Amino acid sequence: GQSLEQPSEVTAVEGAIVQINCTYQTSGFYGLSWYQQHDGGAPTFLSYNALDGLEETGRFSSFLSRSDSYGYLLLQELQMKDSASYFCAVVDSGYALNFGKGTSLLVTP
Amino acid sequence: NAGVTQTPKFRILKIGQSMTLQCTQDMNHNYMYWYRQDPGMGLKLIYYSVGAGITDKGEVPNGYNVSRSTTEDFPLRLELAAPSQTSVYFCASSYSFSLGDNEKLFFGSGTQLSVL
């Protein structure tokens, strides 16, 4: 089996930096993905880490440590539109993604 | 390209009724998936398919059936609907043949289903 743990809620101020952590336990591991979902919308792909280290895409960065079974999503220069749920997900030995329960990010003025 | 298209967007069923949620994609993706999402929860995998004619169970397959007769279509069938199947259903697709790259899913807009 496998499990993913991430905080249920995070609140941050517009313009600030926020980090959303994800720890995972899985029998097989190929990589860690992050998805964003706005209320009432569909999840959309943000990033993927297969190797240790930091991947940067604009204001968003994602980090992976395979030895620690840990990753995080870093959001910089927060904007109100970043208020959404963020899900980490792993590909195990199967052919599908398994998602965490998600972190609800609220950006306040 | 339309991407992944799901119909209907909303549906109310009575207990015991059956229905089919439609999903089609125009990206020539081999991999397709059905997830359900309950309020405040993550997505749980119901069924997936790695190509036409091939399907397999995910984490929560009970009460559902799927078929994959073409690359484009992956319908989800609910038999004998129950209140526990009230949820938002997302269909998704992915191109990659490689497990290591099988990380980018394209999602449909979802079907909100209520069973009363």
Q: Residue A1 forms beta bridges with which residues?
A: none
Dist. CA B77–CA B72, nearest whole Å: 16
User: Which residue from A44, A50, A102 is facing B100, i.e. has the nearest CB?
Assistant: A50
pLDDT of residue B100: 52
pLDDT of residue A92: 65
pLDDT of residue B98: 58
Task: Name the residue of chain A whose CA is nearest to B112's CA.
Answer: A40
In the predicted structure, residue A41 carries a pLDDT above the cut 90:
yes
User: Would you call A30 and B58 a contact, using CB atoms and an 8 Å cutoff?
Assistant: no
In order along chain B (116 residues), what is the average pLDDT of each group of 10 residues? 92 97 95 92 92 93 96 96 97 74 83 96
User: What percentage of chain A reaches a pLDDT higher than 70?
Assistant: 95
DSSP secondary structure string for all residues of B66-103? E--SSSSB--EEE-S--GGG-EEEEEEEE--SSGGGTT
Q: Residue A74 forms beta bridges with which residues?
A: A19, A61
Name the pLDDT band for A27 (thresholds 50, 70, 90): confident
User: Which residue from B33, B106, B108 is facing A96, i.e. has the nearest CB?
Assistant: B33
Dist. CA B100–CA B36, nearest whole Å: 24
Tens-place pLDDT, residues A44-80:
999 989 899 999 989 999 999 999 999 999 999 999 9
Residue with more model confidence, A62 or A29: A62
Task: State the first-to-last Cα distance of chain A, in angstroms, to the nearest integer.
Answer: 41
User: Would you call B103 and A41 a contact, using CB atoms and an 8 Å cutoff?
Assistant: no
pLDDT of residue A9: 96
pLDDT of residue B42: 87
